[in-house]
Chain A
Amino acid sequence: MSVSCVRPPIGTSTPGKHLRRIENQVAESFQLPSTPLQQFTLANGLRVILNRDQSVPVVSVAVYYDVGSRNEKEGRTGFAHLFEHMMFQGSENVPKAAHFQYIFNAGGTMNGTTSTERTNYFETLPANQLPLALWLESDRMCSLKVTQENLDNQRNAVQEEKRLRYDNQPYVNAFLRINELIFKNPANAHSTIGSMEDLDAATIDDIREFFRIYYAPNNAVLTISGDFEEQETRALVEKYFAEIPSQPRPPAVDVSEPEEVAATEESFPDQLAPAPAFVLGWKIPARRTQEFYALSLASDLLFEGDSSRLYQKLVKGDESVVSIQGGVDERRGPSALYIFALPKPGFEPQAIRQQIFDEIKRLATSGPSEGEMEKLRNSLCNDSVRGRQSTMYRAQRIAEYALYDDDPKLFDSELDNYLSVTAQEITNAVARFLDVDNRVVLDIVPDAERALESAQASAQPPGERRQPAAPAPQIPSPESEQQISPSNSEVVVASSAHPERPEQPADPPKQTEPGSGPLHP
């Protein structure tokens, strides 16, 4: 699943009362700097958006394919993510695993992610290396080497990744389970990493067919953001992509859900969990609906940052939790909202849960305060403007709006939709969708007995030790541990771990190893 808390920028900020009574300039409206866009579509259906900005001589290229776990049929789960791996295994003119070498040796960075909605590939390079990126992306779009050997290798790699990122981590698999309970439609309920059985059963023909259907120019968007010449770039795009043949439209996907998710409470044994925890989950309306905007803002009020209601109540007030987090899974179909809590030793999960429900009820009845509305608006503004600094952020967001909505200009205008949300709308949305019994409670229970059983299940026959096959490479950052975070790590399933906050650009400059900052790889 892709857990994204991205909110478009805000426009107006109204002054609230200041503790210091400092006179503040009251601006009636917030003008977001306008993003220049040039759009065109090739004859083969590839949608292309160019965003020129000469601030820094870098360029980011993003290719978004309209295929995610939502497109996977039963018995065929995990294909979209497996494919993401395969895309780095070489194409007609690019040797196996050379993709990342080309990028590094040109002085760039790269990544790729898979979610329920889409698979994306992106790189940032010095501006004069734009042709290299287009060559790499076009070569694999048209001539990916789908061989039995690559398939077998990457199946192994996915197994290793599943072990490393999911099965070897406490709490992570609970998030996969909760989706199975929130969503009734298998297309929505299953995880992006998929099942090993389905992947083991995949034949080379299955994979070739998958590639043919989904990895087609008419099923993709290409965005380029940064310092380039428009005419020259347009010509390069034509040169590298125009000849790639289009394919028939992929089959439509049904992501409809019954409206209610019945109240479900389940116990989830976790052999790695050192302490009990729980996840709460709600089904919420699709992205870009008025209710979704309202619930997204409600989620900020509830658990985003130190001034959020649940942080103040549980971390600072009762001091009863080690952590309280939440997130919104934004999808084109029915979406989801989660809250995760890790109680401190000696505090009852049940009691903490009740407090969370009480706070939701409070929001559902009295609604947000004026101060909270101001906070929301200013945060949206701030996040939006701050994100815009990065060519990669722009390339990705523009590609999303092009892919999902066929309207890249939403990059600038979506802000107004969020800004238009009223306190009453937030109150109503919380009342209708969160302050209800229709929710999932997943109790994560440490279970060492099961540890023995599953150790048995994963024990390998003696003598047959498989090498960890090549998962995609990782850009090392000495100070950070491997995290499931699209911004830090390499080719990963987008955020199946804890619901994520949007990246905070101005986080404290904590570096465990000074001298290993960005200029010191």
Chain B
Amino acid sequence: MSTQQDFRQQPPPPLPARHLQLPSATEARLSNGLAVVIVEDRRLPLVSYRLSFRTGDAHDPPELPGLTEMLTGLLTEGTESLSSREIADEIARMGATLSAGANSDYSTVAASSLSRFGDQVLELLADVTLRPSFPENEVALARQNTKESLRQQRAQPSFLATEMVSRCMFGQHPYSVIAPTPESLDATSRDRLIEFHRSQFVPNNAVFIIVGDVHAESVLKRIERLFGQWEPAGTVADDFPAPPAHTSRSARIVDRPGSAQSNIVIANLGITRMNPDYFPMLLMHTVLGANASSRLFMNLREDKGYTYGAYSNLDARRSAGTFRASAEVRTPVTGDSLKEFFYELERIRSQPVSQKEITDAKAFLTGVFPIRLETQEGLIDQLVQIRMFGLPENYLDTYRDKVQAVTVEQIREVAERYVKPDQATIVIVGDGIQIEEQIAPYTDDVTFFNTAGKPKSRPSLTPKNVVRAPQNIVGNWQLEIQTPLGQTIPATLILEEAETGLTGRVESEMGDADLLTVNLDGQSLAATLAFDMGAGETVEAQISGELSGEQIQGSIILQNSPPLTFTGSKQ
């Protein structure tokens, strides 16, 4: 056994590297400006299509956020000759897929099938792209369904974090808006959809990429037949306001009372996708926080145990970008986590990375490169990005060389240029009252928001800031609490004046609770409830209410639960 032990003691060296044959493409351009890229791949009888347009969410009219999103979703819901159902049935009959979607910078109509159905799928793709009918009932359904998902999203901390980060980092730039509102949805009319489609979804604004079991010449002929009559239209160059510069550190807290975790994002403005600093940034990001052997993970998770995972994010888009570090940490270690984040951000900008780190990062990036090109989907998505961001056509051929060419000094330079802890924006979605003090050492510039995105007062007040409570507030309030099931629970809210400000209790069938840290802001009441469970244990909840004369209405939020609304009146 001892010889066996010897060779097992070390990881084995790699075998000789094997060559990656990158696909070659046939390129063409129709007379109407449509660029076509065809990659023949006859490994399997499959074909994939992507028709992408340089129009994305950032091009939404300012008063209609979500227009592009809704438009792309509706393309497959009806054309001049086919209903939504007919399209769905036709695609399913072929065992194929056809869909459309959008991101910040571009939209894509995507289809795939066995190659034997390739022509039919192509015809359908042409139909939904060129002749969508936006049926009124489908538009109404899309509005309704989007409103539903907006409601779900507002319950998700990651959505709230992204929303706040986008607002803070992008300012007047359209990347700042990540979701429609119910009002904007109502205003998104069929006419606007049609008009936007006519003006934006034009051939000179598009690239058509085909990968699969096809013959370039014949598929090009088919494309000419199907798309040749498509009229080009003038396009306007992007002219977006620059994102705001930040000159000092700030914190924007989305208060989610009772949250067991703090969703932390620390962001600085970054680069666009086409910026020459891209590859050094990519390496810097890989060392700092791309995966589980990166610095942020090893520190905040492996060493400190604060979180399930801490990472960085190189958010580089067509006209602007950010560089972020983020993690979801347990509420009590929010401040400690900030300490470690800033330690790592300082470190990467002030000290060169080690030789091992840069070597490992290069190995990771060059190693996963072929894995991501295994499938037609992987390859075609890369080709879409290359075209939509205007990257060099030989991007895939030179990618690994560019990764290898980055130096330790280049990494430090871009870290110094873009990683700016003193000017960073800290966004935290978490339990405001628990984290307020934890954040204080890191910045004075702290603003709180509720989950609807509206500013609110600080969760707690120090005693000297307490305003004497108006008399109409002190006393007993009879409440009726509604559960989501429609039950009504009676309760009594007792508010009393004390030296340190308002205090009181809630008494109900659910239990009795003392009011802690009562905050009164005009007629808005907010407090923590501490339910006494006996044996020295308490369970906390948040109560907030609006007072109006002798009436009160508000909600009680137990940890990780939907709010219980209540109404009540003074006894």
Binding site for B on A (CB under 8 A): 10, 13, 16, 18-20, 22, 24-25, 27, 33, 55-58, 92-93, 97, 100-102, 104-109, 124-132, 134-136, 138-139, 160, 164, 168, 227, 232, 239-240, 243, 271-272, 274-275, 305-307, 312, 316, 319, 322, 344, 371, 374-375, 377-383, 385-386, 388-391, 445-449, 451-452, 455-456, 459, 461-462, 465, 467-471, 473-476, 478, 481, 504-521
Contacts and interface: CB of A to CB of B under 8 A. Distances in A.
Interface in B363-378: 363-378
A380 B145 CA distance: 30
Interface stretch (B104-112, B248-256, B471-479): B104-112
Contact of A385 (B45, B93, B372): B45
B370 to A, nearest CB: 5
Interface string B97-134: 10111111110101111101101100100000000000
Interface string B77-103: 000011011101111111111011111
A145 to B, nearest CB: 14
The 9 closest A-B pairs by CB, nearest first: A107-B367, A378-B95, A473-B292, A467-B305, A506-B112, A382-B95, A508-B101, A57-B18, A307-B92
A349 to B, nearest CB: 13
Interface in B165-179: 178
Contact of B290 (A275, A381, A521): A521
B423 interface: no
Contacts of A136: 11
B561 A271 contact: yes
Contacts of B536: 462
Interface stretch (B313-321, B345-353, B442-450): B313-321
Contact of A456 (B9, B155, B375, B539): B539
- Tell me the dominant secondary structure on chain B's binding face: mixed
Given A445-B485, A459-B533, A520-B282, A56 B20 contact: yes
Contacts, number: 350
B463 interface: no
A139 B532 CA distance: 52
Contact of A379 (B95, B260, B376): B95
Contacts of A58: 370-371, 374
A448 B105 contact: no
Given A243-B1, A378-B117, A518-B381, A508 B374 contact: no
A77 B498 CA distance: 54
- Tell me the dominant secondary structure on chain A's binding face: loop
Contact of B293 (A101, A371, A516): A101
Nearest to B318: A514
B367 A508 contact: no
Contact of B375 (A227, A481, A505): A505
Nearest to B12: A131
Interface string B470-493: 000000000000011101010000
B365 A514 contact: no
A470 B308 CA distance: 7
Contact of B44 (A33, A93, A306): A33
A476 B311 contact: yes
B76 to A, nearest CB: 8
Interface in B548-571: 558-562, 564
Given A390-B374, A519-B369, 5 more contacts: A374-B93, A382-B113, A476-B311, A514-B388, A515-B317
B364 A521 contact: yes
